[in-house]
Amino acid sequence: MATAQDKAVGGLFLFIAAAVWLYYTAWVFLLPFVDADHFLHALFLPREYAILIPTALLVVGVSGIAGFIALSVAKSNAKKKAKTQKKAN
């Protein structure tokens, strides 16, 4: 069963995810329809970053997952090799 602290942390993560989604959605889908001299443009980064930031996060995430898998496979193979050598001796 989840503790109160787990629920609070989960709620915080959910709030942060919703805020990021709302910000990104407004940035990408609503801001292009607002006049360029409107004050809302000061609240957002240039539009180029709307593609660069998610792309960079995706590359880092996929690289991290690939690195974790490679490390896991290497450790598994090392254990199998050590086990095989132990049986041979």
pLDDT digits 0-9 by tens, 58-86: 999 999 999 999 999 999 999 888 888 88
Residue 23: domain span = 4-88
| Cα 54 to Cα 24, 28, 59, distances in angstroms | 10, 12, 9
Please count the residues of the chain.
89
**Could you identify the residue written with the tokens 């801001």?**
31
How far from chain centre, in Å, is Cα 80? 33
What per-residue confidence (pLDDT) applies to 86? 81
How far from chain centre, in Å, is Cα 34? 29
DSSP state of 28: I
Nearest to 50 by CA among 78, 11, 77, 24: 24
Confidence check: pLDDT of 89 > 70: no
Q: How many domains does the chain have?
A: 1
Q: Tens digits of per-residue pLDDT, 1-59?
A: 889 999 999 999 999 999 999 999 999 999 999 999 999 899 999 989 999 999 999 99
